[in-house]
Structure 1
């Protein structure tokens, strides 16, 4: 009897006859996450919302398209997650969602906290990831993307600074291994030709177990040094990076039209349709935040145009 690895099981939990999916989407509200509980205790809050995603096929053309349908709050479409753990007065800034076996996992990009979400609104801490190698500084790992590879969960960061070029590998019992990925991040930068002054900011990545390829969808790409106002308004990217397992062969793919203020903050391969994906685009310009949902395939076709889902920032999507 062959063992099906967790990444394969995750992709095969729905078959090619599936037409309806439930999405989980989580917010990262930054400073707005702090709340006061009824007992006066300071806590940090994130919103977990559920939506329906429908896959349609045009009977005449065979063209695939997706559409989103919100689940009303009074029908279980919205839940609040409360965390009592913070760093520097901030917490519950959840930046990704991943189904790891039977558990829905989320990651706080401020504290490094890794939590299971149970009963739709209960956070169960499982690990605290520390920045870089985990040895040099008492600072939470800025978790930004996560995926399954084999039976492990791989968690990564922006890849913009040296300490954000490390990845964390968690096994099914949450045993931890930290790996310096600087060469892989540099190969991505080289493939995108950003040059010595430019940068790439990653918040969305998937390991594709069938293709044995890494899919990175950078949120921001720039050939010029980082300048926050310009970055917010102009650096949003629409270039998918496709790399083989050891990053020795990398190609890029343009997906749809680039909207300069929108950048990819999360995407997932759709179970049953391993060439199709659902993703989020986030906007942060000054005090203005928005989240847009879209669907695409790995040939670069847009299967659902950008759809506004809220005037707040969501950074994690997963198919339940």
Structure 2
């Protein structure tokens, strides 16, 4: 019987581990388009490597986290180049996941799935198509990804019908599309937002020990979508916890809500499976910012929002 990739991922470090290397990827939207020295048009994203330290208070037994930037001159920043685009846009990478030994990333514009090798090389492995995959020639808006058993699960915002499907990839990149409309609806009901509201998902994890789905919506609104309002007022601090079949769904408040900041990615910390590291993003007009924070699954904040930079980071993974 094959080993489970999701358990391996959580057990690659033990409970004595206190220092981690983070991989963080940017999604720079329209700013990703560049021209190479050859004159060819391409699209680019930055892959950052930074450090995360876990501290344990001996008196209280409470954990806290500290973030440290690795300077570019010390190997903390690398450029990824993609030659694949849709509608003049590409390399808008929205998530990072370790799939066995492979570091995977997902373009939320083209549906491209890539392995990242040697810090700068993108190796295309799949192009996911919107909805069921049979509807139209449009890339899947990949926004969140996690492992469940030996399979890689990729999902989308969930706001529109075509974004309520998930994609299941096996280790050899076999593909299945599954309709998750009912599950997205159950999350809406747990949040009690009514028929006029919406939820925007960009961050989710399957927890193999707890056998639970964890969703941390980026935006929650009880009224219809309006971009100017969405940018400034709809950031969320509500974690969704659902059992395996979504027959039980509950919410957990994590810290204070900063309405202009929304969670764009988070990961369970290997060796400390009750603790998580996450990213928050800000997009208001041309203004973009990214923050890193830590929390546990009891709703406690272990590291307050820490400013990373004036660009949009949408994927984080622990190497």
For the aligned pair, the TM-score class normalised by the smaller chain equals: over 0.9
Alignment of 1:97-112 (within 5 A): 97-112=96-111
Using the alignment, how far apart are the partners of 1:296 and 1:252 within structure 2?
A: 15
1:191-218 deviation digits (Å, cap 9, x = unpaired): 0011000000000000000000000000
**Deviation string for 1:28-50 (max 9, x for gaps)?**
00000001001000000000001
Q: Shift of the alpha carbon at 1:229?
A: 0.2
For residues 213 and 241 of structure 2, the distance between their equivalents in structure 1, rounded to whole angstroms, comes to 6
Task: Determine the C-alpha separation between the residues in 1 that align with 2:5 and 2:56.
Answer: 29
Please tell me whether residue 138 in structure 1 is matched to residue 140 in structure 2: no
Per the TM alignment, residue 65 of structure 1 is displaced from its structure 2 partner at its CA by 0.2
How far apart are residue 4 of structure 1 and its match? 2.5
Distance (whole Å) between structure 1 residues aligned to residue 63 and residue 272 of structure 2: 11
Is 1:271–2:256 an aligned residue pair?
no
Deviation of the 1:252 alpha carbon: 0.5
Tell me the equivalent position of 2:166.
Answer: 167
**Which residue of structure 2 aligns with residue 201 of structure 1?**
200
* 1:60 equivalent in structure 2: 59
Q: Separation in 1 of the partners of 2:34 and 2:172? A: 32
Shift of 1:266: 0.1
- 1:3 Cα offset (Å): 3.9
Corresponding residue of 1:298:
297
- Cα distance in 2 for residues equivalent to 1:79 and 1:249: 42
Greater mean deviation of Cα atoms: 57-66 or 244-253: 57-66
Q: Whole-Å Cα distance in 1 between the matches of residues 26 and 2 of structure 2?
A: 35
1:6 match: 5
Runs of 4+ in 1 over 4 A off after TM superposition: none
Aligned to 1:283: 282
- Cα RMSD between the aligned structures? 0.6
- Say which SS state the counterpart of residue 247 (structure 1) adopts: coil
* 1:194-273 superposed matches below 5 A: 194-273=193-272
Q: Which residue of 2 aligns with 1:21?
A: 20
C-alpha displacement at 1:168, in angstroms? 0.1
Distance 1:219 1:3 in 2: 34
Q: How does 1:77-156 map to 2 (within 5 A)?
A: 77-156=76-155
DSSP-derived class of the 2:136 partner: coil
Number of the residue aligned with 1:41: 40
Q: Which whole-Å deviations, capped at 9, do the CAs of 1:48-90 have from their partners, x for residues lacking one?
A: 0010000001122222100000101011000000000000000
Aligned residues: 319
Listed one character per residue, the Cα deviations across residues 132-177 of structure 1 (whole Å, up to 9, x for unaligned) are 0000110000000000000000000000000000000000000000
Q: Distance in 1 between matches of 2:77 and 2:163?
A: 32
| Deviation at residue 280 of structure 1 after TM alignment | 0.2
Name structure 2 gaps, 5 residues minimum: none
Deviation, 1:295, is: 0.2
- Do structure 1's residue 181 and structure 2's residue 184 form an aligned pair? no
Distance in structure 1 (CA, Å) of the matches to 2:15 and 2:187: 32
- What is the rounded CA distance, in whole Å, between the counterparts of 2:217 and 2:18 in structure 1? 29
Give the SS at the match of 2:131.
Answer: coil
